[in-house]
Amino acid sequence: MIYLDYNATTPIEPRVLDAMMPFLTTHHGNPSSGHTLGVAMKAAITRAREQVAALIGAQPEEIVFTSGGSEASNHCIKGVALSKRNRGNHVITSAVEHPATLNPLRQLEQLGVEHTIVPVDTTGCVDPEAVREAIRPETILVTIMHANNEVGTIQPIREISAICREAGVWFHSDAAQSLSKIPVNVDELGVDFVSLAGHKIYAPAGIGALYIRNGIEIEPLILGAGHESGRRAGTEPTASIVAFGEACVLAGETISSQQWRDLRDTIWTTLHDALGDGVRFNGHETNRLPNTLNVSFVGVNGAELLARCPDIAASPGGAACHGQRPKPSSVLAAMQVPDEHAFGAVRFSVGRDTTEADVREACRQVIDAVRAMSADTPNIASHE
């Protein structure tokens, strides 16, 4: 298959697999054990923690390993709500967040924690002034993602973090989608918390991390023994943690933004040259992830289109985790994309293994399928 769904998940890089394999085969032991095998496991985790921290400009002790980005965001949001319950009960987020942010906030409503959803413009971008206006005396957290997983729009995190710092409000950003695609430096961004996910950067699924700035204490999400310095209970999955650390090293060495941007733009240019007004671009033209393209095929259902292109792996309607639902993406709705266009949305996302031959062949198949599906629809042109 031609894989154009790297925003959904990435394959495990051979170098990452090589790093983790000994911890699935010959190396074993509980990292909390005091014997030689346990000490070796703990040392491997310590090294991986340093590797993750180095990629984002953090200190190793600021990294808490989790089961993934979703747990990291849940940990932050619920942990802040519990630790700040005597200080306030209000959280601010945006209309284009991942469900791992929005659903915990909905659950917290049952505990009296209110949240305000600030809108985005037609490119999917949050206005920092809207965040400023939404802050109240009881606001305890602002959570805005670094880059959107569906359309790739990059948010003005520095500007928002400055507003939060001025107001004395903690700031969390979900960087699961931006890590390894664009620079993520916690000091430059000015964030207090960051969610990270291993399977977005060529490590296996089931591993991630939450960055918690030194000096901040929040309630743990998972209770038990004193793992992760008492911040996240559960015996650490050493092999996956080692893989995540190695993937972070690889990301720091080989960010391929220009190559991805060229491939992404080739897809758009080829589709638009062939279909003209029959294809619509969704997102910010320049301020977006270098590997991400979200387009709507006018008058064509995106899921049906991809079903007619079985050799292409891409996501209909936005994110893969939304692909089976019978309603348009909430992200595109927030961007005021009309329903008739939103239903025709497809997200293409390129990665390390994508070639120009891949994207040109994918475009050929998509164009042929669109023309076949819209043969009787006059508003889709057929340009040569």
Instruction: Tell me how far apart the alpha carbons of residues 93 and 102 are, in angstroms, rounded to a whole number.
Output: 8
Domain boundaries, the chain: 14-253, 256-373
The reported pLDDT for the residue numbered 374 is 80
Q: What is the pLDDT of residues 49-68, one digit of tens each?
A: 999 999 999 999 999 999 99
* Domain 256-373 bears CATH identifier 3.90.1150.10: yes
Give yes or no: 76 in active site. no
Backbone region of residue 206 per phi and psi (left: phi > 0; alpha: psi in -120 to 50; beta: other values): left
* Domain 14-253 bears CATH identifier 3.30.110.30: no
Instruction: Tell me how far apart the alpha carbons of residues 13 and 215 are, in angstroms, rounded to a whole number.
Output: 35
**Are domains 14-253 and 256-373 of this chain identical in fold?**
no
The active-site residue out of 125, 164, 248, 321 is 321
Which position has the higher pLDDT, 320 or 328? 328
Q: What is the pLDDT of residues 159-187, one digit of tens each?
A: 999 999 999 999 999 999 999 999 999 99
Residues 6 or more apart whose CB falls under 8 angstroms from that of 92 comprise 115, 116, 118, 131, 134, 135, 139, 141, 142, 143
List the structure tokens of 321.
């985790």
DSSP at 225: S
Q: What is the pLDDT of residues 135-164, one digit of tens each?
A: 999 999 999 999 999 999 999 999 999 999
CA angle, 340 then 341 then 346, to 5°: 130
The reported pLDDT for the residue numbered 327 is 76
DSSP string, 106-135: HHHGGGT-EEEEE-B-TTSPBPHHHHHHH-
Instruction: Tell me how far apart the alpha carbons of residues 145 and 255 are, in angstroms, rounded to a whole number.
Output: 20
Q: What is the pLDDT of residues 328-338, one digit of tens each?
A: 899 999 999 99
Cα-to-chain-centroid distance, residue 162: 22
Q: Is the pLDDT of residue 11 over 90?
A: yes
Counting residues of the chain whose pLDDT is more than 70, the rounded percentage is 95
The reported pLDDT for the residue numbered 375 is 79
Pairing relationship of beta strands 312-313 and 2-3 according to DSSP bridges: parallel
CA angle, 47 then 48 then 50, to 5°: 65
